[in-house]
Chain A
């Protein structure tokens, strides 16, 4: 298997700092901002954005965790049901500007499921999307508002994001595989 590095630890750090600035630039109503990270790595990226925003503006934006399993559109095709994690949104999302955070944007199906999961909790004023990597190949009409890095890929390649909080190392790599992977 062939692999090459796309982002280093420093580059991830700078990208997340830039996204935090962009979020604040785009949204004047700081008091209505909220972050929700998609399990698993989106959660750690949302935490980093929360810290960065605190560092810039001195405010702590509420943060939640999304598990999108129950809204996946491929459950009927799976041989066994995937393990369901908890969605934890402990604040009222009504009239909030909710920013969904994930590591990789690919087919867009995860984000579609995340939108449905959020709506179960109420009606936010706006929903925006922040991702560390956009690798293309969308299967749904979904676009990110904040992107760490655009990486053109082929379908036979795999994008691997490693974060210190969850993995042993930190960085983004492209792996060449021959098989096709799940788009979730």
Chain B
């Protein structure tokens, strides 16, 4: 079994196939801890983990927070609205001040791509990317892959279709990197304004027709329409988007019997997915949430490994 030598988790792009599989295998062992009478393991006892979120998030920050607590770490939440970032402090200064409190890991979400990498270069603590701009969201992709592995058991030749605003989706980007490394065939589907021009270079196929794109898909991953971002100007109306790219009741007959419906949440019912499909037999949306906890426990465990002395060199 491949050992994990990384101090940070910054992107899926930098991970090898073996490293991804190590996380998935470790997550399998950690999933059971949440099913025990005593849902706690002492493995990160004495470690302090900081959640530094520059963007709103409930499920990712709660999932990380609970994962850290189930491993006995202490968790500090720094919400940006209430912090001195509002007073003009820079990212690096904020991080160095946090590090001065002798913490072990910073989990960061930032609206700018590359913010976690800058942090990793300037501080000694481990850094986990919890979403940076339109770049990557590694733990979301890992939990998606973990869910696929648990349900399908394999990746080689598996057909995965990602639907929605691919251009502005860090979830899509991380998923394409990871799934391609594991041998799955990824198709992206959405309005032409939401498909990046260079996406084929990442190994994904492009389709502008949802019926065609889901017809032989083993997994359909629906992205949320991000009303708070630019999505609103990229299609004429929500109704038109829903008419062409929604996983609605009508689409069901085009799906394979054993296709999985996934969604990173939060879902907009009636926009990218109908209620019946979201709550239907193919949906694994809530399983993704449960699996997210196990995957984040695995990541926190694996990056906590290195000794202080050896930490710096391994970036």
Contacts and interface: CB of A to CB of B under 8 A. Distances in A.
A binds B: yes
Nearest to B37: A122
A120 B304 contact: no
B304 A81 contact: yes
**Size bin of chain A's contact surface:** 20 to 34
A77 B307 CA distance: 7
A67 B307 contact: no
A60 interface: no
A121 interface: yes
A121 B304 CA distance: 25
Interface stretch (B1-9, B144-152, B184-192): B1-9
Interface stretch (A1-9, A12-20, A82-90, A150-158): A82-90
A86 B32 contact: yes
A80 B3 contact: yes
A80 B306 CA distance: 5
Interface in B1-54: 1, 3-5, 22, 25-26, 28-30, 32, 36-38, 40-43
Nearest to A120: B38
B294 to A, nearest CB: 11
B42 A71 contact: yes
A79 interface: yes
A144 interface: no
B304 A83 contact: no
B57 interface: no
B26 A120 contact: no
A81 B307 contact: no
Contact of A85 (B29, B38, B42): B29
Nearest to A85: B29
Interface residues of B, number: 25
Contacts of A59: none
A155 to B, nearest CB: 24
Nearest to B301: A81
Contacts of B280: none
A90 B94 CA distance: 47
Nearest to B1: A83
Contacts of B43: 70-71, 75
A78 interface: yes
A80 B41 contact: no
B305 interface: yes
B111 to A, nearest CB: 32
Given A77-B307, A120-B41, A84 B36 contact: no
Nearest to B41: A70
B302 interface: yes
B310 interface: yes
B37 A67 contact: no
A119 B40 CA distance: 11
A154 B15 CA distance: 43
A80 B25 CA distance: 16
Contacts of A121: 36-38
B301 A84 contact: yes
Contact of B310 (A71, A79, A120): A79
Interface string A115-146: 01001111000000000000000000000000
Interface string A87-114: 1100000000000000000000000000
Interface string B156-199: 00000000000000000000000000000000000000000000
Contact of A80 (B4, B26, B29, B36): B4
6 contacts: A67-B29, A80-B4, A86-B29, A119-B38, A120-B40, A121-B38
Interface of A: 67, 70-71, 75, 77-81, 83-88, 116, 119-122
